[in-house]
A and B are shown apart, each in its own frame.
Chain A
Amino acid sequence: MAIPFGRTLACALLLAVGLGFALSNARVEAWQALLPLFEWMETTLFGVIGKTWGGVFAVVQAGHLLSMAMLGGAVLAADGRLLGVLFRDQPLAAVQAQAHRVFVWSLVVVVFTGVFMACGVAIKIYYLPVFWYKMLALLVGVLFAFLVRRPLLADDPETLSPLVRRVVAVASIMVWFTVAATGRWIGFSG
């Protein structure tokens, strides 16, 4: 039996757990427990390559940037359609489905190149607050994309109220903008 407002309740619960985690000592304990993982990351093949060959690191950085651009393009195209400013004459469901495919492939490359880069400078980013802000934004973005946006638009997006569509689009643009902006700020920190 489906629980009424199940997804809303699940999101509220997730937010409450996240807030509890952020405000309690569990956050600091989790951060301290992750140090060995970051130390290990620097010893992996990615870590050694990233630290030894600046050229390879820079090319992967460029790949990260390019895939973020592609991801941004997919997000803006899909959310532009939701906002009614792009592809207004095209079926909403078709644009969402096709843009989502580009989004998923871009996200895979973003994460892969991101992990490579993180391995090369693992200890440095471990101590950077902005890195954790980015990870939080990325987590929120992924959860939002797959657990909120996708299910909401999966059935018949035309039946959704324009207000809900706009809220989803603006939230999506904001969270991915935050991911990109905090990522850029990592380069200026430390």
Chain B
Amino acid sequence: MNERIYQFALWLDGKASSTALHESFYMYNWIESTHVLALMISLGMLFLIDLRMLGLALPSVPATTVAQKLNVPMLIGFSVMMVTGLLLFYAIPVRTSQSLWFRIKFVLLIAAAVNALLFHRRMRAAPAGWDTAPRAPGNLRLGAALSLAFWVGIVICGRFIAYDWYDCREEPAALIAALAGCIPGQEVF
């Protein structure tokens, strides 16, 4: 599996546009800035929804209204974040695919997506009239708390990707190397 990921990353790395993107100071930084600013929109909306469920924000606005109204800007923000995130990966494919933090972030993103699906399913199944209460029912509060925790983890891991602590080039301990997908004898990092 790691060998396939490495080969795929090498293939991407061989593209002229990948190198051009990586080496373009302004383009790369614009994309990264857009990624972070889109995060402000999407996470800002998501956090308001989660905090509303926990009874910590906008308590007089019905919870379903908060969720429905903020869903659109949140999804727009997520879309921009996804596109710019893919471009950032494309610019530095080998190092990123072998980053322990990127891999944890990826797992957390999947967990957050599954949690969001379950959350919306539970919200639709909740008995009528719950959304005017200052706090949502227990299962929705759990979903909101998990969402907050996953996204805090995602942002921390995203920040850690910039650091080279466990890069394959640094020859980390065997367990870290296995988790990061380092390939023995690899020449491209």
Bound together, the chains give a CA A98 to CA B43 distance in angstroms of 18
Q: Is the CB of B61 within 8 A of A87?
A: yes
For A89, A95, A102, A181, the residue with the greatest tally of chain B CB atoms inside 10 Å of its CB is A102
Of B43, B59, B65, most buried by chain A (CB within 10 Å of CB) is B43
The residue that A102 contacts in the complex, of B48, B70, B156, with Cβ under 8 A, is B48
**Closest Cβ neighbor of B33 among chain A residues:** A184
Contacting residues, chain B, for A72 (C-beta < 8 A): 40-41, 43-44
Task: From A58, A91, A101, give the contact of B160 (CB < 8 A).
Answer: A58
Across the interface, do B44 and A98 meet the contact criterion of CB distance under 8 Å?
Answer: no
Per DSSP, chain A at the interface is helix
Shortest Cβ distance from B20 into chain A, in angstroms?
Answer: 18
CB < 8 Å neighbour of B156 from A58, A73, A77: A58
Residues of B within 8 A of A77 (CB): 45, 48, 58, 70
CA separation between A74 and B60, bound complex, in Å? Answer: 15
Which residues of B15-70 have CB atoms within 8 Å of chain A's CB atoms?
25, 29, 32-33, 36-37, 39-41, 43-48, 51, 57-61, 65, 69-70
Q: From A54, which residue of chain B is reached at the shortest CB distance? A: B163
Interface centre among B44, B47, B60, B155 (most CB of A within 10 A): B44
Is there a chain B Cβ closer than 8 Å to A148's Cβ?
A: no
Interface size in chain B (residues, C-beta < 8 A): 35
Cβ of A171 under 8 Å from chain B: no
In the bound complex, residues from chain A placing their C-beta under 8 Å from that of B47 are: 66, 69-70, 73
Q: Pull 24 A–B residue pairs with CB atoms less than 8 Å apart, ordered by A.
A: A54-B165, A55-B163, A58-B156, A58-B160, A62-B155, A66-B43, A68-B40, A69-B39, A69-B40, A69-B43, A69-B47, A70-B48, A71-B44, A73-B46, A73-B47, A74-B48, A76-B44, A77-B45, A77-B58, A77-B70, A87-B61, A98-B59, A99-B58, A101-B57
Give the B-binding residues of A (Cβ under 8 A): 54-55, 58-59, 61-62, 65-66, 68-77, 80, 86-87, 89-91, 94-95, 98-99, 101-102, 177, 180-181, 184-185, 188
